Amino acid sequence: MFCKLALRNVRRSFQDYGVYLLTLTFGVCLFYTFNSLEGQGAIRYLAQSGSPMVEVILSCISVFSVFVAVVLACLMVYANRFLLRRRKRELGTYLLLGLGQGQVSLILMLETGLVALVSMVLGLGLGVLASMGLSRLTTSMFQISVDHLLGLRFSPAAAGKTVLYFGLIFLVMMVLSGVQVSRAKLLDLMQGNRCNEPLKQRPLKWAVAQCVLGVLCLLAAYGLLLRFGMAVAIIMLPVCVPMLALGTVGTLLIFRSLSGFVLRLAQARPGFYYKNLNLFTLREWMSKVHSTYLAQTVICILLLLAMGITASSMGLNSTLDANAQARSPFDVTVKNYRGDVTLLDFEEELNRAGFSTGEKLAWQREVLIYYGDEAVVGLNTTGVMGLSDYNALRQRQGKELYTGALPAYIPWEECEGLVTDGLTMDLAVVEDSVLERLEVRRQLWIADYAGDKEATEAELMAALDRLPQECVTLVHSRIGLYQDLMGNKMLALFLGLYLGLTFLLAAAAVLALQQLSQGADNAGRYAILRRLGAREGMVSRCAVEQVALAFLLPLALALIHSAVGMKAANDLIAQAGKVDALQSTLFTGLMLLLVYGGYFLATALACRRLALHETGERR
């Protein structure tokens, strides 16, 4: 009987509290996705290539998974407390019908077990799909084909870890639910939904003073961040502590001051205040802001962390990618550092070693770098290159040929993008006839592959090992460079997405559960409004407007915080290369829209349904 009753309660609860199941399922999905990285294409590729970053990435994910599990555990316990608060009258009815507190606790434990089973199955299923999507996202960073590493893959280790962690969390929830019911009094359960939230009017001057002080605190925190930069502001405690304290206090004061003057501003405009149900909407909303300003501050900070971490990781990722592309214009560059002693005929030597340059290469060229001689060249540079070689490299990269005056000075920064992994020198470009009066400093052999890049490179490396021993060569390949950088790129991307999604989920879920709780408390008030003559559309719009105000308020302030924080973060990232702020902003906005917007939509529909259900006008 208890199992049948628990199953009926779970099915009925999901109809009203889909946000609860959504949060649990998304938490399981998120946890599984990032703990199954060892089976994803990008990590498998790096492992096959022997990259040491694989162990670093997996270790960091394991460490951060403990932190994420703690955050999700707090979130799930909070969600479970919300459901119990909403069902106090129902639980009291069970006690009135003769069930003991132990039996009621058993029902709740069975319900929690069913919810755990459903969310675990759904979460793991979505996690497998999400891990494939994340794998495609990361492998798209490579400039080589790794399609053979893609596809649906189930990770038993990640699934076992997810079941273990979330099993412990659900066990804690079951125990806490039983303890809470066993300690509750029947009168408190039956009257749990009759406690009204008083609206205390604060003196206007104090509210304005708090708001002004909050703005000043935020401006001071912004000033410290922009003045000292992101790196110093995070590392140096004399800067970090005051900045964080001022930012937190400023946010808290702004939320606390709202109930003191926003309502009075609306009352000063009777045409707006008394239109439709604006009076009821504003007073209900402001009463909740007054009592939950601390929670609003926490939600705002969580949104700031979510947007800042995600955008920063995407910005750093795009910067590293741009640097990798700039440093690898060709598939391979071989530098003969003893070109001043022995010049090699690379094409002949490679063909002799069994590597067919005609079949395996799409393009190749030998380039000589000469010692700089200011008396001959007219410029004081480290190296000298002939115009024909310089234009051949530029033409292969799709750049315009140089037709300016000679000799031409090529700075070190531009020379770094001239061949793969750079030249580590500045150059003077001269007419080829001038080169006869200079001494050879270094010989370069540069090529692009024709077919399968990985297979071609493996054959080329084997052939290069058979070059004459008196030559000192150093090989720089695009694949090798990307393998070195991919580990750093993926570490930044994985940790950024993992933490960003966790904070965003926590902020959206807490806010959604708050609004569902308040929507349930307001259901009786909506019924009174309906009996007083309010139309169904007005009641429905009122419920949605309250949810919209609650979601937009912390988001608006978090966006301001994020704009300042991203300015400092981009300045720091720009030291490593060009920052693609548009891409990181668009990606963060899309993630915010999907997760935060999805929670808003689900919450608005649920609150609307609660309001219409109580009025007896269900559609």
Q: Which residues contact 251 (CB under 8 A, 6 or more apart)?
A: 214, 218, 297, 300, 301, 557, 561
Say what the pLDDT of residue 545 is: 84
Comparing 412 with 109, the larger pLDDT belongs to: 412
DSSP-derived 3-state class of residue 467: coil
- The dihedral built from the CA positions of residue 573, 578, 579 and 583, taken in this order, carries a sign that is negative
**Does residue 17 register a pLDDT over 80?**
no
Of 167-176, 509-518, 596-605, which has the strongest mean pLDDT?
A: 596-605
Give the pLDDT band of residue 332 (cuts 50, 70, 90). Answer: very high
Region 321-347: mean pLDDT is 81
pLDDT tens-place string over residues 374-415: 889 989 999 999 999 999 999 999 889 998 899 999 998 888
| pLDDT confidence band for 576 (50 / 70 / 90) | low
* pLDDT at residue 615, rounded to an integer: 46
560-572 pLDDT, tens digit each: 988 888 888 777 6
The pair phi, psi for residue 40, each rounded to 5°, is -85, 155
Chain centroid to Cα 188, Å, comes to: 43
Better-scored residue on pLDDT, 579 or 409: 409
Residue 216 predicted with pLDDT over 80: yes
How far is residue 380 CA from its own chain's centroid? 48
Contacts of 50-54 with CB under 8 Å at 24 or more apart are 51/483, 51/484, 51/486, 51/487, 52/487, 53/486, 53/487, 53/488, 53/490, 53/491, 54/487
How confident is the model at residue 13, as a pLDDT? 62
Tokens of 162: 């997810």
| SS3 call for 491 | helix
Q: Which residue has the higher pLDDT, 609 or 580?
A: 609
Q: pLDDT over 70 for what percent of the chain?
A: 81
Q: What is the average pLDDT across 498-523?
A: 81
**Top-confidence range, 166-180, 349-363, 565-579:** 349-363
Does residue 197 carry a pLDDT above 80?
no
Q: Indicate if the pLDDT at residue 366 is higher than 80.
A: yes
Distance CA 218, CA 211 (A): 11
pLDDT in tens, 535-552: 888 888 888 888 888 898
- Write down the pLDDT at residue 391: 94
Taking the CA atoms of 468, 474, 476 and 480 in sequence, report the sign of the dihedral they define: positive
Provide the pLDDT confidence category of residue 364 given band limits of 50, 70 and 90. Answer: very high
* Report for 26-35, 53-62, 471-480: range of highest mean pLDDT: 26-35
Q: Greater confidence, 16 or 138? A: 138
C-alpha–C-alpha distance, residues 501 and 303, integer Å: 10
> Which pLDDT value is given to residue 617?
44
Alpha-carbon gap, residue 458 to 469, rounded angstroms: 20
Work out the average pLDDT over 430-437.
92
- pLDDT for 205 beyond 80: no
Per-residue tokens: 127:
């996690």
CB of 438 closer than 8 Å to CB of 376: yes
% of residues, the chain, pLDDT over 90? 11
Most confidently modeled of 66-70, 183-187, 190-194?
A: 66-70
Give the pLDDT mean for 423-432: 91
Cα–Cα distances in Å, from 265 out to 111, 258, 516? 47, 11, 27
Which range (7-21, 67-81, 139-153, 476-490) has the least confidence? 139-153
Residue 528's pLDDT is 80
State yes or no: pLDDT of 240 exceeds 70: yes
Give me the chain's average pLDDT, please: 79
Give the other-Cβ count within 10 Å of 575's Cβ. 10
| Predicted local distance difference test score (pLDDT) of residue 618 | 40
